[in-house]
Amino acid sequence: MVHSTIRCTQCVLTEKTPNISFNEDGVCNYCTSYEKFRPHGERRLLRIIDSHRNKAKKYECMVNISGGRDSTYTLLKLRKDYGVKVLTFNYANPFTDEQAEKNINNMVRILGIDLIKFKHTSSIHESCFKNNLTAWFKNPSPAMVPMMCIGCKLIWKNVVETAKKLGISLIVSGGNPYEYTSFKKELLTVSRDVDLSTYYVQYIRGLAKESLKNLSYVKPHYLPTLLKGYLFANQTAIGPRVFASDIEKIDFFHYIKWNEKDVISRITNELKWNYPKELHSTWRFDCRISHLKDYMYMKTLGMTEKDDFYAKMVREGLLTRNQALARLEKENQLHMDKIAKILEQMSLSPKYFLT
Ligand SMILES: [Zn+2]
């Protein structure tokens, strides 16, 4: 008998999704417990922005840009639609995609805004990533895939330090609320309906527990980096909250409803934004590590973050189930050539990877 994959009849998640169950109608528990996201609205966003406008200041707000679609759109809205004096901050991530780099240059030039490009003085990002990557292959666990991103988690310290130095009191991020992948929470036993700070504590506890199962992650040399990564993981983490309590930090798409069509058409037409066509996806190509993460999730779970993301878009009514399935069919291909390049950059043999 041929075993075909069981999929939720409402979204697109399969039986392989962590902790999934289906009711008698074949609808998954991710769907039945889902609460639609409600943005706070433009009025509230403008109220915040207006409270930071200041004629005497050179910059009224800082936006972190990666060259990806959502941070690009956030910048476009703030500068062009709302006329805010913006400073952009970009981390020169050693794994930035070439097209993302071009996008950054284009948007900064077209909008005529200043850019601070932050670079680590050491190769801490690369060496920490290499350590986590080799640790992962000793005991592949889907729960530990986020450890591949530790390098970028170090950046929030520099973001808030830069804002402080320049007297900037508002930082706007382009975080997409539909990207908070629920299956990763399940893997780290983080409750689904908790506030951000509880989520953060549970998330760290989950990662720490997993690290104890595979001690290759916790080499003494990398402990300070790990700790810094945990403390400054994102704008809601303890680090930015304590260290920069006087700076307001908001997510653009928590106020304005994320509309994929509008995002892509505006940034393409107005900022010459583009994506690597061979990927068939406009989502998350800005960092090349995403190809490796796709591989890791696919090998351990038979799914990627895209399954979760598109399932959410279906629940939100932003995509039909069939559209989502068609996208997954096309976009859930592994890009081994791009992964090979990362390994080459890390002086790891592709053979090492395949065994
Ligand atoms: Zn479902």
More confident residue, 7 or 196: 7
CA of 312 from ligand 1 middle (Å) equals 9
Least confident of 105-109, 120-124, 343-347: 120-124
What distances in angstroms separate CA 58 from CA 51, 103, 270, 338, one per listed residue? 15, 24, 24, 40
CA of residue 308 to ligand 1 center, whole Å: 10
pLDDT digits (tens, 9 = 90+) for 33-43: 999 999 999 99
Query: How many angstroms does the Cα of residue 11 sit away from the middle of ligand 1?
Result: 4
Instruction: Give the model's pLDDT for residue 3.
Output: 60
Helices 69-76, 260-271: crossing angle, 10 deg rounding: 70
Distance 21 CA to ligand 1 centre (A): 9
Beta-sheet pairing, 86-91 with 114-118? parallel
Task: Give the residue among 94, 82, 90, 131 at the shortest CA–CA distance from 108.
Answer: 90
Q: For residue 177, which amino acid is it?
A: P
| Closest among 45, 103, 37 to 78, alpha carbons compared | 45
pLDDT at 51 over 50: yes
For the chain, strand residue ranges (E) read 61-64, 86-91, 114-118, 170-173, 248-251
Across all residues in the chain, what is the average pLDDT? 89
Distance (angstroms) between ligand 1 centre and the Cα of 178 equals 15
Query: Both tokens of residue 13?
Result: 């998640």
Q: Are the CB atoms for 139 and 214 separated by under 8 Å?
A: yes
Q: How far is the CA of 314 from the centre of ligand 1 (A)?
A: 9
> In the 3-class helix/strand/coil scheme, how is 104-122 assigned residue by residue?
HHHHHHHHCCEEEEECCCC
DSSP run (H or E) holding 80: none
Domains along the chain with CATH numbers: 42-301 (3.40.50.620)
Q: How far is the CA of 95 from the centre of ligand 1 (A)?
A: 33
Between the CA of 310 and the centroid of ligand 1 the distance, in Å, is: 11
Q: Which helix (H) or strand (E) holds 17?
A: none
Lowest mean pLDDT, pick from 11-25, 55-69, 141-155: 141-155
User: Of 12-26, 200-214, 288-302, where does mean pLDDT reach its minimum?
Assistant: 200-214
CA 42, chain centre distance (Å) = 23
The residue type found at 142 is P
Q: How confident is the model at residue 1 (pLDDT cuts 50, 70, 90)?
A: very low
CA of 292 to the centre of ligand 1 (A): 26
pLDDT at 178 over 80: yes
pLDDT at 153: 80
- Ligand 1 mean position to 258 CA, how many Å? 21
**Gap from CA of 90 to ligand 1 centroid (Å):** 36
Split at pLDDT 50, 70, 90, the class of 193 is: low
Residue 174's φ and ψ, nearest 5 degrees, are: -100, 40
Q: Separation of 10 CA from ligand 1 center, angstroms?
A: 5
The token pair at 256 is 């304005």
pLDDT-based confidence at residue 354 (cuts at 50, 70, 90): low
Share of residues in the chain with pLDDT > 90 (%)? 54
pLDDT of residue 43: 97
What secondary structure letter does DSSP report for 81? I
Tokens of 136: 């992962």
CA of 184 to the centre of ligand 1 (A): 16
Give the span between the Cα atoms of 108 and 88, in whole angstroms.
8
Distance in angstroms (rounded) separating the CA atoms of residues 1 and 186 = 31
Tell me the percentage of the chain whose pLDDT exceeds 70: 95
| 266 alpha-carbon distance from chain centroid | 21
- Reported as a single tens digit per residue, the pLDDT across 274-330 is 988 888 888 888 888 999 999 999 999 999 999 999 999 999 999 999 999 999 999
Residues with CB under 5 A from ligand 1 (ion): 8, 10-11, 28, 31
Return d(Cα 295, Cα 329) in angstroms, integer.
15
Ligand 1: centre distance to CA 124 (Å): 40
Q: Give me ligand 1 centre to Cα 142, in Å.
A: 20
Sheet containing strand 114-118, edge to edge, reads 114-118, 86-91, 61-64, 170-173, 248-251
| Structure confidence at residue 32 (pLDDT) | 96
Q: How far is the CA of 306 from the centre of ligand 1 (A)?
A: 14
Q: Which residues pair with 249 in a beta bridge?
A: 171
Under 8 Å between Cβ of 217 and 209:
no
* Residue 17 Cα to ligand 1 middle (Å): 10
How many whole angstroms from 322 Cα to the centroid of ligand 1? Answer: 13
Q: Is the pLDDT of residue 257 over 50?
A: yes
Q: How far is the CA of 318 from the centre of ligand 1 (A)?
A: 15
Q: How far apart are CA 261 and CA 276, in angstroms?
A: 18
